[in-house]
């Protein structure tokens, strides 16, 4: 599933020049596009902005990319690959410290690509060039991983029963919003100690959200309301 989503994100029908100079020009364009999207956002970035920053002509741009959307997807590719890899490391623990450690890895990854990931979310919010569909598919992937984790824990008897699809969606939405607001939006990149602080709180919230395993009834008498108050027969 991950590869299908990623393939959708980075599909590129344009032939790529195979010589070293062509690859170098393409890389310059992608680097320039990443900077422009981070500075201006998706909607306000123009192809002219990209080629000016890259120091190439518009004709050269169209030798490598068909549109602004296509180069944005190419610029987005490293961030998506890294996030998918970070989420792949979700282990079957339930304690808050271990959950925080998993979250630190995810947030550090988000932080490295924070500008382009922020722009993707904002482009999705205004339904620009189909990025809402892409974002929903990526989100569905992350939610499915979390749901699978919850179901495995329940099957092992480590947590109680619950609405795992909805719980996974809520937990995922929390992480997405926190990453966007506290890492993607600020003017400066958060320091690592700030990321660890955020992750500790998220880990604690995830831990507390896990459905508890029901306590077994002490005996069948207290479990059955019809017999709970019935007195034992008198001794003869």
Task: Give the model confidence (pLDDT) of 149-170 as tens digits.
Answer: 999 999 999 999 999 999 999 9
DSSP for 182-221 reads: IIISSSSPPPHHHHHHHHHHHHHHHHHHSPPPPPPPSSHH
Taking alpha carbons only, the member of 64, 61, 41 closest to residue 50 is 61
Q: Is the pLDDT of residue 19 over 60?
A: yes
Burial class (CB in 10 A: 0-12, 13-18, 19+), 120: buried
Determine which of 6-20, 44-58, 80-94, 128-142 has the lowest per-residue pLDDT on average.
6-20
Q: In percent, how much of the chain has pLDDT > 90?
A: 72
Determine which of 58-62, 221-225, 229-233 has the lowest per-residue pLDDT on average.
221-225
Do residues 138 and 10 make contact, with C-beta atoms less than 8 angstroms apart? Answer: no
Q: Average pLDDT in the 210-225 region?
A: 63
Query: Which pTM was predicted?
Result: 0.81
- Provide long-range contacts, Cβ within 8 A and 24+ apart, for 104-110: 104/195, 104/196, 104/199, 106/175, 106/179, 107/179, 107/183, 107/195, 107/198, 107/199, 108/192, 108/195, 109/82, 109/83, 109/85, 110/83, 110/179, 110/183, 110/184
> CA distances (Å), 58 to each of 28, 48, 103, 219, 231, in order?
13, 7, 42, 79, 91
Q: Is the pLDDT of residue 224 over 60?
A: no
Predicted local confidence at residue 216, as pLDDT: 72
Predicted local confidence at residue 121, as pLDDT: 93
Residue pointed to by tokens 């824990």: 153
Could you give the CA distance from residue 32 to residue 4 in angstroms, rounded to a whole number? 27
Q: Is the pLDDT of residue 3 over 50?
A: no
Do residues 9 and 80 make contact, with C-beta atoms less than 8 angstroms apart? Answer: yes
* Domains of the chain, first to last: 2-70 (1.10.10.60), 76-209 (1.10.357.10)
Q: Is the pLDDT of residue 142 over 70?
A: yes
Predicted local confidence at residue 218, as pLDDT: 34
Average pLDDT, rounded, for the chain: 86
Please name the residues in contact with 52: beta carbons below 8 A apart, sequence gap of 6 or more.
none
Distance of CA 25 to the CA centre of its chain: 31
Could you give the CA distance from residue 55 to residue 50 in angstroms, rounded to a whole number? 8
């Amino acid at each position: 599933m991950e590869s299908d989503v990623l393939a959708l994100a980075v599909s590129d029908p344009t032939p790529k020049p195979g010589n070293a100079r062509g690859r170098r020009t393409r890389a310059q364009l992608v680097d320039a596009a990443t900077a422009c999207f981070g500075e201006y956002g998706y909607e306000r970035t123009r192809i002219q902005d990209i080629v000016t920053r890259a120091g190439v002509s518009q004709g050269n741009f169209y030798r490598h990319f068909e549109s602004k959307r296509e180069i944005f997807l190419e610029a987005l590719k490293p961030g998506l690959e890294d996030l998918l890899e970070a989420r792949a490391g979700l282990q079957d623990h339930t304690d808050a410290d271990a959950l925080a450690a998993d979250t630190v890895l995810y947030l550090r990854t988000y932080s490295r690509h924070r500008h382009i990931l922020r722009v993707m979310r904002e482009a999705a919010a205004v339904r620009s060039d189909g990025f809402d569909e892409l974002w929903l598919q990526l989100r569905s992937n992350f939610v499915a991983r979390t749901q699978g984790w919850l179901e495995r824990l329940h099957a092992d008897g480590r947590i109680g029963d619950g609405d795992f699809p909805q719980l996974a969606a809520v937990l995922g939405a929390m992480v997405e919003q926190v990453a966007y607001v506290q890492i993607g939006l600020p003017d400066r990149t958060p320091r690592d100690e700030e990321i660890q602080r955020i992750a500790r709180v998220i880990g604690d919230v995830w831990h507390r959200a896990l459905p508890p395993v029901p306590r077994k009834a002490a005996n069948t008498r207290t479990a059955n309301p019809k017999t709970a108050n019935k007195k034992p027969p008198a001794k003869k």
